[in-house]
Amino acid sequence: MHVQEWLEQVPAVSIYALVGVVIGLESLGIPLPGEIVLVSAALLSSQHGDIDPVILGACATAGAIIGDSIGYAIGRKGGRPLLAWLERKFPKHFSAANVASCERSFQKWGMWAVFFGRFVALLRIFAGPLAGVLRMPYWKFLIANVLGGIVWAGGTTAVIYYIGVVAEDWLKRFSYLGLAIAVLIGAGSMLFVKRRAKKAAAEAEAATPVAAEPQPVGVGD
């Protein structure tokens, strides 16, 4: 069953809790489809008046901030042995190459890697635990975590909600043929972008020299 179809059968309070918990666990470091759940719930709220987008956005934001904070605490306590354990449990997400890539982002951007990491699937999972492992000062992490959580979770909810409202009004004015054409164009565009992104990622990986085992990096005082 599609995520949105399943959400339609769940009470509003359960949807708020589900979105907050899934995003919180994803931010904590567990690979879950937090963004998919949030987008589906926000789109659903645009079609059903009993789901308040403000409450939905607040729950998503709270889950993101709390989850990242717990991930930070776990990463700070577990250190690099934690990353090794995560690699064994989730080799696809926490491989040595992925860890090294995210670590380079932290080296370059510091606290901004936490903020902008909200908008990148891989960094969204890594940000909290990795910031703790690298012992980023908590006040820096907290500022970036709170701002990133508000902008990403709240902003995504608002944007998808209004897109859903506008799309519903737009679809009422066009035939099913127009809808089919729009869907085909959208699907084609998405496949093109995915293919380009995959090609760019492959080229970047091929151009990256094999590095030695990562050493502890100070993120800043």
Give 211's pLDDT tier (boundaries 50, 70, 90).
very low
**pTM recorded for the entire structure:** 0.67
**Cβ-count burial of 138 within 10 angstroms (0-12 exposed, 13-18 middle, 19+ buried)?**
middle
Give the tens place of pLDDT for each residue, 24-60.
998 887 878 888 889 888 888 887 778 899 999 999 9
Give the tens place of pLDDT for each residue, 15-25.
899 999 999 99
Give 168's pLDDT tier (boundaries 50, 70, 90).
low
User: What pLDDT is stored for residue 20 in this prediction?
Assistant: 94
Task: State the residue for tokens 């449990």.
Answer: 89
**Cβ-count burial of 50 within 10 angstroms (0-12 exposed, 13-18 middle, 19+ buried)?**
exposed
User: What pLDDT is stored for residue 186 in this prediction?
Assistant: 53
User: What pLDDT is stored for residue 221 in this prediction?
Assistant: 47
Q: How far apart are CA 192 and CA 15, in angstroms?
A: 33
Q: Comparing 165 with 171, which gets the higher pLDDT?
A: 165
Mean confidence (pLDDT) of the chain? 76
Describe the crossing of helices 138-149 and 53-89 by its angle, rounded to 10 degrees: 130
Give the tens place of pLDDT for each residue, 70-97.
989 988 887 777 777 777 777 666 777 7
- Amino acid at residue number 34: G
Distance set, CA 96 to CA 86, 103, 146, 171, 193 (Å): 10, 10, 28, 46, 27
User: CA nearest 38: which of 54, 55, 23, 58?
Assistant: 23
Distance set, CA 105 to CA 15, 127, 151, 209, 219 (Å): 33, 10, 20, 16, 11
Query: Which range has the worst mean pLDDT, 1-15, 33-47, 94-108, 195-209?
Result: 195-209
User: CA nearest 19: which of 54, 59, 67?
Assistant: 59
